[in-house]
């Protein structure tokens, strides 16, 4: 089944380029666009009020929007339609923007400068439960945590943290690095079912419900 994709983007020219891309991308169906967060929220709320599912499987979210920003829009849309994958698509790659978006519930964080084929590949991976971050964004976070953010570096990894096993920490580290479930299985030389079992356990121990939330907590609390 084709992936229904829409966008929240205030730049009309960029919206048009996305529409052209997805009209010609196998496996995707263009489901429309919104010039503001408020328009997307109104559309989702109207459908939910009538007991209907949103018209999209995946929503591309810009961060720099008029009025309500992309982070708050992501937070509210996730409450309205938790089954919709929301992927930030932005020019911002600073650690604060990335972490705020992930903590708001974003299922992915991609950069507008990415080539079209890379964007499509990452979106397919995210819809299939894959990596929430591109490798470049993951490296940005890890580098900044190590070298440019003393406040975050000073957060202790004390014994009060969740009691993850060594293998669970390896799985979590791989997710932070942007690996998909399949890549984690290959990296650790285990089955895909084993990876899924570890991830369910990680979710339970971290009290989260998605890869993005798990990665966000891992980064905030330096669990890996």
Same structural domain, 121 and 167:
no
What is the distance, to the nearest Å, from the Cα of residue 223 to the centroid of all Cα atoms in its chain? 19
Please spell the DSSP secondary structure of 78-117, one letter per residue: HHH-TTSEEEEEES---HHHHHHHHHTT-SEEEETTS-HH
Q: Does 93 reside within a domain?
A: yes
**Residue 134 resides in a domain:** no
Which has the closest alpha carbon to 207: 152, 84, 138, 216? 216
Buried-exposed string 38-65: b where 16+ CB fall within 10 A, e elsewhere: eebbebbeeeeeeeeebebbbbbbbbeb
- Digit-by-digit pLDDT tens for the chain (224 residues) are 789 999 999 999 999 999 999 999 999 999 999 999 999 999 999 988 877 877 899 999 999 998 899 999 998 999 888 889 899 999 887 777 877 887 788 888 888 988 898 889 888 877 776 655 666 666 666 565 555 444 444 444 444 467 899 999 999 988 877 677 887 888 899 998 999 999 999 999 998 877 767 877 887 777 87
Q: What count of other Cβ atoms lies within 10 Å of the Cβ of residue 117?
A: 9
CA 141 to chain centre: 14
* Same domain (yes/no): 89, 11: yes
Domain membership of residue 185 (yes or no) is yes
Tell me the CATH number at 203.
1.10.10.10
Distance, CA of 102 to CA of 86 (rounded, Å): 10
Q: Where is the domain boundary, 128, 146, 166?
A: 128
Is the domain of 111 the same as that of 62? yes
**Residue-level pLDDT at 23:** 93
* CATH number of domain containing 40: 3.40.50.2300
Whether residue 204 sits in one domain with residue 93: no
User: What pLDDT score does 153 carry?
Assistant: 40
Q: Could you tell me if residue 149 is inside a domain? A: no
Q: How many domains does the chain have?
A: 2
| pLDDT score, position 149 | 43
Give me the pLDDT at residue 220, please.
Answer: 72
Residue 198's pLDDT is 94
Structural domain ending residue among the three candidates 106, 128, 150: 128
The answer to whether the beta carbons of residues 5 and 60 sit under 8 Å apart is yes
Q: How far is CA 56 from the centre of its chain?
A: 16
Cα-to-chain-centroid distance, residue 50: 28
Asked if residue 80 and residue 31 are part of one domain, the reply reads: yes
124 lies in the same domain as 14: yes
Residue 204 lies in a domain: yes
What is the model's pLDDT at position 102? 78
Cα-atom radius of gyration of the chain, to the nearest Å? 17
Residue 55 is predicted with a pLDDT of 81
Domain containing 204 equals: 158-221
- Residue 123, both tokens: 């979106």
The domain boundary, picked from 128, 145, 167, lies at: 128
Is 151 part of a structural domain of the chain?
no
85-90 vs 108-111, strand pairing mode: parallel
Examine the domain organization and report whether 15 and 91 are in the same domain.
yes
Q: Say what the pLDDT of residue 201 is.
A: 94
Cβ–Cβ under 8 Å, residues 101 and 65: no
139: in domain: no
In a domain? residue 52: yes
Same domain? For 171 and 67 the reply is no
Query: Domain check: are 31 and 77 in the same one?
Result: yes
Same domain, yes or no, for 116 and 187? Answer: no
Residues 93 and 201 in one domain: no
At 191 the pLDDT is 92
Quote the pTM value.
0.67
Residues 87 and 14 in one domain: yes
105 closest CA partner among 203, 209, 222: 209
pLDDT value of residue 144: 55
């Amino acid at each position: 089944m084709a992936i229904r994709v829409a966008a929240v983007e205030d730049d009309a020219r960029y919206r048009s380029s996305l529409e052209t891309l997805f009209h010609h991308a196998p496996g995707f169906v263009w489901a429309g666009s919104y010039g503001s967060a408020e328009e997307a929220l109104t559309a989702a709320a109207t459908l939910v009020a009538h007991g209907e599912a949103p018209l999209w499987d995946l929503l591309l979210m810009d961060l720099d929007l008029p009025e309500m920003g992309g982070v708050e829009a992501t937070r509210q849309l996730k409450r309205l339609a938790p089954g919709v994958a929301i992927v930030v698509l932005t020019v911002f790659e600073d650690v604060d923007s990335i972490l705020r978006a992930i903590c708001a519930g974003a299922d992915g964080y991609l950069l507008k400068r990415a080539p079209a084929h890379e964007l499509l590949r990452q979106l397919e991976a995210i819809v299939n439960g894959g990596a929430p971050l591109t490798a470049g964004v993951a490296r940005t976070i890890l580098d900044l945590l190590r070298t440019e953010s003393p406040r975050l570096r000073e957060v202790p990894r004390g014994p009060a943290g969740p009691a993850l096993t060594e293998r669970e920490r390896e799985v979590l580290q791989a997710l932070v690095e942007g690996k998909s479930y399949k890549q984690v299985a290959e990296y650790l030389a285990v089955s895909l079912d084993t990876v899924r079992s570890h991830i369910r356990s990680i979710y339970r121990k971290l009290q989260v419900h998605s890869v993005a939330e798990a990665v966000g907590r891992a980064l905030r609390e330096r669990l890996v």
